[in-house]
Amino acid sequence: MTDLPDGVAYRRFDGERRLATRGPPVYGEPTASDWRLWDAGRSKLGATLAAGLDTGLTGGDRVLYLGAASGTTVSHVADFAGPTYAVEFAPRPVRDLVDVAAERPRLFPLLADARRPETYAHVVESGLDAVVQDVATRGQAEVALRNRRFLAPDGRLVLAVKARSEDVTAAPEDAFDEVLARLRDGYEVLATERLAPRHDAHLAVVARPD
Amino acid sequence: MADDSGEPGWYEGVDPDDAGRVRTQIEEGTTDEPRDWPGLAVESGFTADEDDYYDRLHEATTAATREAAREAGRADDQQLKHSIRAMDDADRLANELAERAVEWGESLFDGVPGGLDGARALADRDPATPAAERAVSLAAEATRLAAEATALRAHVERTAPAVAPNLAEMAGPVLAARLIALAGGLEPLAKKPSGTVQVLGAEDALFAHLDGRAPSPKHGVIFAHEAVRGTRPEDRGSAARALAGKLAIAARVDHYSGERRPSVHEDLRERLATIRARADDEGAGGGG
């Protein structure tokens, strides 16, 4: 069993061992003393950690999170990480994301398109420890390649690839192979893991700049 | 060592107390390469230390992003409506002008190809007479208009996913924008039954039919979707109904929640697979 990042731990909720982080509750999730449940069924990064994948994430990391949506997962990241930049393109979820960020002094929300890093590179710092990516658009490898510029040479890309965003009709395996092949233009892939049954047709990928 | 050669960060030249200016910088600034902004900000004297920098960054990003999201949520479907209509107009006019210029050009020059390619070729010719000068100039105008149409299309493709993420993912950004424009906005679209969504955009064809210029319309703009076009003719009605139903749901999710909902897309995929399996079943049975 791989070590979880500092600040992420298994705690008992209703008698069950579940992932948890410490921070202000966000979406009515169960809490146990100062820990709050991180539901791996609702979070691809949570599922990646629960699957035991070595993400290379550690407590206090500087993180860029792409595809933050309304901030559910990124709130847990901000709980254990250091400065965390959260990029989301859809205005409506961003309103919730801003509320999540308001209670977390080192979470920085940005309304921007992850396919256009030049629109936030004047805010997001270089040399980050990790880029976490969960964007449901076609060209997920391309997004990862374009955002490689933010990573330190030994930084980590932790990616959740959604097969159906690439091609709804292709077999997931084919879509994954295509994404991984493109990803290798700029990354060394360190580990992959299917996230089924929690997240059907999703592949978790850990990679570092090549 | 601090160097001044790179592009500036968001905080450069900004009075931290000027909220409006800070917001503009965060939202509209661009830089190709990120840099060690916290370190540079401290060196330049913008903040006392890194902690102070992050405090200011937090204040600036939450305020700017809250404001930007509020504004985007208000106006964007209307902006998208203008963009897609302008794109269609520019496309249509570019083609009409190109056709006119080429027809003219053919009477003046040899070897002018048809359509926009013809207009582009014509625009590079040397006019020898006042008439040729006008024809060449008209061709150049058509070419510029075609470039504007392309730029408008790129703009639609960029903005539609922000306005309606599910609809844009399902229909593609251009068709999503078209549906929103035809309905008059995202909210009106979200309130339409799927039967109406299915025939949105068939109005032009209907009037053409009434004028005796076209057969009666059977489908709206969703016919451009691969789910419909890529299905054999006898199953297209089913495919169009299935697609329209899911598009209507996608529009509602986009309007009322604004978050991506994967299940809608998976439902559609499964429904289409079932419809298309009919052709395979018959094919396997040797029915042809």
Q: Does B76 contact A90 at a Cβ distance shorter than 8 Å? A: no
Q: Which residues share a beta bridge with A84?
A: A63, A107
B142, B163, B184 - which closes a domain: B163
Q: Which residues numbered 83-102 in B keep a CB inside 8 Å of some CB on A?
A: none
Residue B114 DSSP code: S
Q: Which residues numbered 139-158 in B keep a CB inside 8 Å of some CB on A?
A: 158
Residue B74 confidence (pLDDT) above 70: no
Check CB contact of A149 with chain B, cutoff 8 Å. Answer: yes
DSSP characters over A73-112:
HHHHHHHHSSSEEEEE--HHHHHHHHHHHHT-TTEEEEE-
Number of domains in chain B: 3
pLDDT at B96: 95
Option in A83, A92, A126 nearest B36 (CB) = A126
Interface ipTM: 0.94
Q: Which residue of A has its CA nearest to B261?
A: A136
Q: Does A92 contact B68 at a Cβ distance shorter than 8 Å? A: no
Same domain, B279 and B189: yes
pLDDT by residue (tens digit) across B161-208? 888 989 999 999 999 999 999 999 999 999 999 988 998 988 777 677
pLDDT by residue (tens digit) across B256-275? 887 788 889 999 999 999 99
Same domain, B101 and B202: no
Distance in angstroms (rounded) separating the CA atoms of residues B105 and B169: 43
- Residue A88's nearest CA partner among B61, B187, B174 is B61
User: What does the pLDDT average to over B16-37?
Assistant: 88
Contacts of B96 (CB under 8 A, 6+ apart): none
- Using DSSP's 3-state secondary structure scheme, residue A152 falls into strand
pLDDT at B1: 39
CB A56 within 8 Å of CB A156: yes
Distance in angstroms (rounded) separating the CA atoms of residues B232 and A93: 39
Q: Does B259 contact A70 at a Cβ distance shorter than 8 Å? A: yes
Residues of chain B in contact with residue A95, where contact means CB-CB under 8 angstroms, are 66, 69-70, 73
B104, B132, B163 - which closes a domain: B163
Question: pLDDT digit of tens for each residue in chain A (210 aa)?
Answer: 457 999 999 999 999 999 999 999 998 899 998 999 999 999 999 999 999 999 999 999 999 999 999 999 999 999 999 999 999 988 878 999 999 999 999 999 999 999 999 999 999 999 999 999 999 888 999 999 999 999 999 999 999 999 988 877 778 999 999 999 999 999 999 999 999 898 988 999 999 999
Helix A91-102 to helix B50-106 angle, to the nearest 10 degrees?
170
Find the CATH number of the domain harbouring B229: 1.10.246.90
Mean pLDDT for chain B overall: 88
Which amino acid does the sequence have at A70? S
Q: What angle do CA B151, B154, B155 make, to 5 degrees?
A: 90
Residue B3 confidence (pLDDT) above 50: no
B33, B57, B73 - which closes a domain: B73
Same domain, B154 and B175: no
Which amino acid does the sequence have at B267? D
Same domain, B145 and B216: no
Check CB contact of B82 with chain A, cutoff 8 Å. Answer: no
Q: Which residue of B has its CA nearest to A91?
A: B69
Same domain, B226 and B186: yes
Same domain, B131 and B65: no
Q: Does A91 contact B162 at a Cβ distance shorter than 8 Å? A: yes
Q: Does B269 contact A108 at a Cβ distance shorter than 8 Å? A: no
Question: Domain range spanning residue B206?
Answer: 164-288
pLDDT by residue (tens digit) across B38-66? 999 999 999 999 999 999 999 999 999 99
Check CB contact of A131 with chain B, cutoff 8 Å. Answer: no
CA terminus-to-terminus distance, chain B: 75
Q: Does A119 contact B260 at a Cβ distance shorter than 8 Å? A: no
